[in-house]
Amino acid sequence: MNEISPDNKKKIFSMKRVLMIAYHFPPIQGSSGIHRTVQFAKHLPKFGWEPLIVSVHPRAYPNTGKDRFGGLPESVIINRAFALDSARHLSIRNHYLSYTAIPDRWVTWWPHGVMTCLQLIKKYKPSLVWSTFPVATAHLIALTVHRLTGLPWVADFRDPMIQEAQPEPGIIRNVYQWIEKKTIQQASAAVFVSNSTLTHYARNFHGKSSKYWQLVENGFDEDLFQHSNPVSEPSSCEQKGGLIKIVHSGILYSKGRNPLAFFKAIASYLQKGEAPIEVTLRGAGLEIDIEKWIASFGLKEIVKVQPGISYSGAIKEMINADALLLFQGAEYNKQIPAKAYEYIRAGHPILALTDKCGETASLLKDWDGVYISNINSPEDIENALVQLVDHIQTGKKPCREPKMVSQLSRKAGALKLSKIFDSLF
């Protein structure tokens, strides 16, 4: 047996524990939310915090994969509490009673989630509790555990709980508002992924000090980029011949991430000459509508709709692309998709179809090699596309400062979170 060095002994015994409550956790597939929790759990031990994970039983996930740990060592303590999806497990002929899904379809996680947390607290004596939304039951579990134990609680908001049209008016929206209010009242700190969401909450909930409101953005996992070129200033300009491969990775929606104007822009671009581009829409969802639009604009040879792949596979596809495509309309002005950070790290030009007043545009406008256009304007998109293609063909490459890029990593985010934890003691 190898002896533990005095330094490592000191580190082990000085390690504090944090109880992390998260619905989105491996083996769920199809959600970028898992990466925030997994990466925090991966990097927090480097900054003195050992994670204890409480999530749901995999049956509660609509889609699962084989990876149950998300790259975390198997030594990480992960407890999965009893939970059902009301829409799938409590329905009869595809209908379920609305009260079985308040505040959300996974409310059955609440009782056993609380019990699981209390068991872990008794055994491992964590110093604080952390929970993450957008599944409201996670905050409900943390609220209950906080009241029963008095442990400090850090509430993580990946999205605002109350938005203009979500949840729709009714009992679920009322319960969301209650959970939101109690969370802000009881938590020791509230963490957000964008400045505008933080400002929105600070403006609507008075009486909290400025230290209560904290920002920890999403980011990228550097380990997934280890086989790519390091971020650096381009040393030379090489002209690009042949097909220019443009990739969009992730789900599209009829509102906020609608590709219709983009298709119109490509069709117009085609009418003015050959388009040396190939667009891949990876894991976009809404395939039926998208395929109809592609056919109606005669884009079958240009736009390829491809099924979802693994997260690591999606990152490799980004790395091998010539340019990266992003959709983020005004409906999501307070949010920044996680892929924006991965796109920056990949080092390629970014065609960002977004609202120029939103958080996504605010992040991207300061980076070289980003072409921002109005998501709803085919003319604006076509102009940006023409400029993008011209710059790629003439060999112009984005110049991004490595130190600035590294500040967007998930490890850097975990360091910020650890400092928030430390500040509570």
Domains and CATH numbers, the chain: 6-219+409-422 (3.40.50.2000), 223-405 (3.40.50.2000)
Please give the sequence-ordered ranges of beta strands (E in DSSP) within 92-186, or none if there are none: 128-133, 153-157
Q: Rounded distance, CA 197 to CA 273, Å?
A: 43
pLDDT at site 182: 98
pLDDT in the model for residue 392:
94
Q: What is the pLDDT of residue 4?
A: 41
The reported pLDDT for the residue numbered 163 is 86
Parts of the chain with a pLDDT under 70: 1-14, 227-241
Return the pLDDT at 238: 59
Please report the pLDDT score of residue 273 as a whole number: 84
pLDDT of residue 96: 82
pLDDT of residue 24: 96
* C-alpha distances in Å from residue 90, one per residue of 28, 83, 130, 189, 206: 20, 11, 29, 35, 40
**pLDDT for res 66:** 82
What integer pLDDT is reported at residue 3 of this predicted model?
45
Please report, to the nearest 10 degrees, the dihedral formed by the alpha carbons of residues 220, 223, 228, 231 taken in order. 60
The one-letter code for the residue type at 87 is A
pLDDT value at position 2?
40
Distances (CA, A) of 162 to 165, 256, 376: 8, 17, 25
Q: Look at residues 48, 46, 23 and name the one whose alpha carbon lies nearest to residue 34.
A: 23
